[in-house]
Amino acid sequence: MAAAVTNAIAGAAVAAAVASAPQREDLSSTVRACPFSSLASFQSLSASCRSVSTSVRPRKNSGSARIVCAVAAPTSTNSRSPSTEVVGKPTVLVAEKLGEAGLELLKKIANVDCSYNLSQEELCAKIPLCDALIVRSGTKVTREVFEASNGRLKVVGRAGVGIDNVDLQAATEVGCLVVNAPTANTIAAAEHGIALLTALARNVAQANASMKAGEWKRNKYVGVSLVDKTLAVMGFGKVGSEVARRARGLGMHVLAHDPYAPADRARAIGVELVSFDEALQRADFISLHMPLTPSTDKVFNDESFAKCKRGVRIVNVARGGVIDEEALFRALDSGIVAQAALDVFTVEPPQKGDKLVQHENVVVTPHLGASTVEAQEGVAVEIAEAVVGALQGELAATAVNAPMVPSEVLVELAPYVTLADRLGRLAVQLVSGGAGVKDVKVTYTSARADDDLDTRLLRAMIIKGLIEPVSSAIINLVNADFVAKQRGLRISEERRPSDSGTVEVPLETIEVRISHVDSKFKTAISGGDIVLVGNVKGGVPHLVRVGDFSVDVSLEGSIILCKQVDQPGMIGKVGNFLGEQNVNISFMSVGRDAPRKLAVMAIGVDDTPTKETLAKIGGINAIEEFVFLKL
Ligand SMILES: NC(=O)c1ccc[n+]([C@@H]2O[C@H](COP(=O)([O-])OP(=O)(O)OC[C@H]3O[C@@H](n4cnc5c(N)ncnc54)[C@H](O)[C@@H]3O)[C@@H](O)[C@H]2O)c1
Ligand SMILES: O=C(O)[C@H](O)COP(=O)(O)O
């Protein structure tokens, strides 16, 4: 007897729960466009991969480019729109001054709202209307901002390098991509570092102020020479190496401390890489160029100043927070530090009358490192390109909160990305009961060596497929692992060597196995688990196994799976019922134990059959159970 029709129809509604999913919704209302859900969208993504592939390489720390899959832009019709907004275009909020060329690029694809000097409350009020936000260092993009966006904010662009003003953890949790503009202001920052170094050595700022006050004090402002002095560059990245190169040109001996710096770069510039302590002990001048991170926070403190040569001079164009400002004040007063030049401060702007700013041996500028005409135009274009790309679902070469997936890998994995998402979607629809999905094992069969397959993207897409149909979450490469962990969904991965495959093809099959659940289609159970296996044929993802039965159905449209007693006329009967309702069949395949024994019929349909049609199929005598699954 055929399974109860109601059970079968419930297949379309996905009663399954993924562990601790906050909401269960009808599948039809929750299937969302995935950035890679169609080959077409992935091909456009691949095209952009190719265009950058020669310049893209994995970067250690932040030194070189990264490529990740971004999140496709939603359009802005789901929120109240600003009056000037063009419906259907994404909205980009530019919260700090951005160069014209960048604004022009943004305006080609988006409604651009330039609103500067917003308070946190004003930013939080605006953000639910925005798909992207562009900031410099003056705007704090806090957890509160991400939460206020209600999931609409898809990308934050930092028009500059330092991302210490953006809560990356909160961004990742909500699946918001963060991109920066890491290269365009390097030279400007390095030049400002050198400007401060020379100004410090020759008392330019103090002498200037004194003369403007009507004085003429030639003896007071005798400086020190730079030539033959030792400069320690702390943080030998983009800016640090440019400062080092210029300091070498000034005839200085240059040391660098950077735990991650490549020795060949240092050798090429004529720089000696040393430990933190050695740098402090040998330097006459110290120039800071490391990012502000938990490990560099106040790394210049009483203890480190005590290790310095007496009379050392310090330049900081990195971040105020890397110096304990109270400790610097003490070191200046005690003479350990003769002079300091500061472009950056723990709190910006510092309080009026700040004692460090007022100190006579301190030269200050109001965070001007990146502020040249050239750098600001460059940064604006760099960030606008990254944000536009991300909004169009393309690649972000400068993402800071997503794993790097090299472009070549993305191109090759494109059809498998779709396969992974669809296997996840089908598998979760086969789960019944309230136990929830907790344990999923993914097995990749490949003829390639174990270290020759990057599965992070595939895993992310399987997670997306498993979670999205049964929750309100939106999953992408940024937040997939986080959301899975948060929901107690354990994904284990295994590589299985392929005997028959070739290394030309990255993957033979992907198997998704859900343990410790019941299935509404018992035939999908193998060894106690729901098991689906898929592969890619001619660039199209196919389902090739359901439980212990081989099938072959392309993963497009929707699928009806029937378990039946193998007998003549079955295909015709089912086909007739679907034909009566004008439901187009795209694919049909039968996998069986043996002739006239049990079989699984997989039918791909382009349209969604009505409940009545599904009831008629369920009523066919030879059909023991069936399920309708939406992709
Ligand atoms: N004042 C400005 O206007 C201005 C302009 C540009 C950059 N910056 C700041 O300058 C800093 C450097 O920028 P960049 O573009 O060179 O970045 P970068 O990422 O290219 O270089 C930073 C380097 O610091 C190194 N590093 C990390 N931790 C370290 C540690 N504990 N000790 C020593 N080195 C460490 C990294 O390995 C890296 O090589 C950033 O903080 C950036 O925000 C300021
Ligand atoms: O990290 C940076 O890029 C610099 O600090 C520049 O910051 P700004 O964009 O606020 O000038």
Q: Considering only residues 84 and 629, tell me which one the structure prediction assigns the higher pLDDT.
A: 629
Spatial CA neighbour of 116 closest among 140, 97, 142: 97
pLDDT of res. 432:
87
β-bridge mates for residue 362, sequence order: 340
Say which ligand is closest to the CA of 160: 2
Say which ligand is closest to the CA of 240: 1
pLDDT band for position 149 (cuts 50, 70, 90) = very high
Q: Name the catalytic one among 367, 422, 425, 542.
A: 367
Which atom of ligand 2 is nearest the CA belonging to 189?
4
Q: Which of 97, 165, 187, 258 to mutate to test the pocket of ligand 1 (most atoms within 8 A of CB)?
A: 258
Mean pLDDT (the chain, rounded):
84
* Total residue count of the chain as it appears in this document: 631
Q: Alpha-carbon distance 566 to 85, whole Å? A: 59
Residue 353 Cα, ligand 1 centroid: separation in angstroms?
28
Q: Which of 34-48, 355-369, 438-452, 599-613 has the highest mean pLDDT?
A: 355-369
β-bridge mates for residue 272, sequence order: 255
Give me the mean pLDDT over the 160-171 stretch.
94
As a whole-number percent, the residues of the chain with pLDDT over 90 amount to 61
Q: Is 238 in the pocket of ligand 2 (CB under 6 A)?
A: no
Give me the mean pLDDT over the 426-447 stretch.
88
Count of C-beta atoms within a 10 Å radius of residue 360: 9
pLDDT of res. 500:
82
Q: Is 258 in the pocket of ligand 1 (CB under 6 A)?
A: yes
Q: Which of 136, 164, 290 to mutate to test the pocket of ligand 2 (most atoms within 8 A of CB)?
A: 136
Q: In the chain, how long is the greatest CA-to-CA distance?
A: 109
pLDDT of res. 73:
53
Are 157 and 383 spatial neighbours (Cβ–Cβ below 8 Å)?
yes
Q: Is 136 in the pocket of ligand 1 (CB under 6 A)?
A: no
Q: Considering only residues 569 and 562, tell me which one the structure prediction assigns the higher pLDDT.
A: 562
- Using one digit for the tens of pLDDT, what is the confidence trace for 304-336? 999 999 999 999 999 999 999 999 999 999 999
Under DSSP, is residue 163 helix (H, G, I), strand (E, B) or coil?
coil
Q: Is 367 in the pocket of ligand 1 (CB under 6 A)?
A: yes
In which residue are the tokens 């932040």 written? 62
Model confidence at 33: pLDDT above 60: no
- Using one digit for the tens of pLDDT, what is the confidence trace for 80-132? 344 456 678 999 999 999 999 999 999 999 999 999 999 999 999 999 999 99
Give me the mean pLDDT over the 237-251 stretch.
97
- Look up 542 and say whether it is catalytic: no
Under DSSP, is residue 326 helix (H, G, I), strand (E, B) or coil?
helix
Are 298 and 320 spatial neighbours (Cβ–Cβ below 8 Å)?
no
Residue 481 Cα, ligand 1 centroid: separation in angstroms?
28
pLDDT of res. 16:
27
Give me the mean pLDDT over the 372-386 stretch.
97
Which atom of ligand 1 is nearest the CA belonging to 188?
5
Q: Is 369 in the pocket of ligand 2 (CB under 6 A)?
A: yes
Spatial CA neighbour of 134 closest among 155, 110, 163: 155
Q: Is 286 in the pocket of ligand 1 (CB under 6 A)?
A: no
* Three-class DSSP labels, 453-509: CCCHHHHHHHHHHHHHHHCCCCCCCCCHHHHHHHCCCEEEEEEEECCCCCCCCCCCE
The complex scores an ipTM of 0.99
Residue 345 Cα, ligand 2 centroid: separation in angstroms?
12
Residue 277 Cα, ligand 1 centroid: separation in angstroms?
19
Q: Is 190 in the pocket of ligand 1 (CB under 6 A)?
A: no
- Look up 367 and say whether it is catalytic: yes
Q: Considering only residues 47 and 438, tell me which one the structure prediction assigns the higher pLDDT.
A: 438
pLDDT of res. 596:
62
Q: Considering only residues 477 and 95, tell me which one the structure prediction assigns the higher pLDDT.
A: 95
- Look up 348 and say whether it is catalytic: yes
- Using one digit for the tens of pLDDT, what is the confidence trace for 488-524? 899 999 999 988 878 888 899 999 999 999 998 999 9
Q: Name the catalytic one among 319, 422, 459, 487.
A: 319
Spatial CA neighbour of 287 closest among 358, 208, 364, 190: 190
Q: Which of 179, 367, 376, 400 to mutate to test the pocket of ligand 2 (most atoms within 8 A of CB)?
A: 367
Model confidence at 141: pLDDT above 90: yes
Q: Alpha-carbon distance 596 to 567, whole Å? A: 6
Residues in CB range of 193: below 8 A, 6 or more apart: 239, 243, 287, 289, 315, 317, 369
Q: Which of 57-61, 358-362, 575-579 has the highest mean pLDDT?
A: 358-362
Are 73 and 49 spatial neighbours (Cβ–Cβ below 8 Å)?
no
- Using one digit for the tens of pLDDT, what is the confidence trace for 457-475? 899 999 999 998 887 777 8
Q: Considering only residues 562 and 83, tell me which one the structure prediction assigns the higher pLDDT.
A: 562
Q: Is 243 in the pocket of ligand 1 (CB under 6 A)?
A: no
Residue 320 Cα, ligand 1 centroid: separation in angstroms?
12
Q: Which of 185, 187, 374 to mutate to test the pocket of ligand 2 (most atoms within 8 A of CB)?
A: 185
Q: Is 341 in the pocket of ligand 1 (CB under 6 A)?
A: no
Model confidence at 530: pLDDT above 80: yes
Residues in CB range of 622: below 8 A, 6 or more apart: 564, 565, 567, 570
Residue nearest atom 3 in ligand 1 by C-alpha distance: 369
pLDDT of res. 6:
26
Span of 219-228, 451-460, 462-471 with lowest mean pLDDT? 451-460
Residue 369 Cα, ligand 1 centroid: separation in angstroms?
12
Span of 215-224, 255-264, 494-503 with lowest mean pLDDT? 494-503
pLDDT of res. 30:
24
In this structure, the dihedral spanned by the alpha carbons of residues 564, 566, 571 and 572, taken in order and rounded to 10 degrees, is -110
Say which ligand is closest to the CA of 137: 2
Give me the mean pLDDT over the 39-66 stretch.
30
Which atom of ligand 1 is nearest the CA belonging to 293?
28
Model confidence at 10: pLDDT above 90: no
Q: Is 162 in the pocket of ligand 2 (CB under 6 A)?
A: yes
Give me the mean pLDDT over the 580-597 stretch.
76
